[in-house]
Structure formats: C-alpha cells, structure tokens
C-alpha cells in the first residue's frame, strides 16, 4: 500500500511525511524490508528525487488504528 493511500483513507489532509514513517518505525518497531520499503523516485524535470514509501497491509492497519480522529476510531472498532 502506498503511504499516500493510507493518508487519504485515515482522514488526514496530507499523506504521512517521511519523518512520520521514521518516527513510526522507531516507536512501533517497524522494519524496513518487512513492514515497508522505500525508493527514490525520479522527477520528470531532473530535480531532486523524492523518497516514496510502500507499506505492508499490517503496517497500514496499525498506523490507521493509532490515528487520533474519527477514522482511527472506526479502524479500532473494526478490529
């Protein structure tokens, strides 16, 4: 799952920032290669590449459940 998808489905106005993935990694013990992977994406104009994160379904579920909003509450109730 692309990290932008979880941002929009969890009620966030913006997708999670890279620092939030790093913060989640250290706080919840997520492991790169197991729970998520990252890659540098090339820009069409040759500008600075951005880092894209792809989350496992389990990581996406856990992140959605810890959101402090109505969507996070709904995710917790579904579990």
Angle at alpha carbon of residue 37, lines to 34 and 40, rounded to 5°: 165
pLDDT of residue 23: 82
Q: What is the pLDDT of residues 3-49, one digit of tens each?
A: 566 555 555 555 555 557 878 888 889 999 999 999 998 888 888 88
pLDDT of residue 50: 84
pLDDT of residue 27: 87
Q: Which residues contact 16 (CB under 8 A, 6 or more apart)?
A: 3, 6, 7, 24, 53, 63
Q: How far is CA 55 from the centre of its chain?
A: 6
The count of other CB atoms within 10 Å of the CB of residue 55 is 22
pLDDT of residue 32: 92
């Amino acid at each position: 799952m692309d990290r932008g998808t979880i941002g929009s489905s969890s009620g966030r106005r913006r997708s999670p920032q890279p620092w939030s993935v790093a913060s989640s990694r250290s706080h919840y013990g997520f492991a790169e290669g197991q729970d998520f992977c990252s890659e540098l994406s090339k820009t069409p104009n040759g500008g600075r590449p951005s880092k894209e994160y792809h989350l496992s379904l389990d990581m996406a579920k856990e992140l959605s459940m810890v959101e402090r909003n109505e969507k996070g509450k709904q995710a917790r109730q579904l579990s």
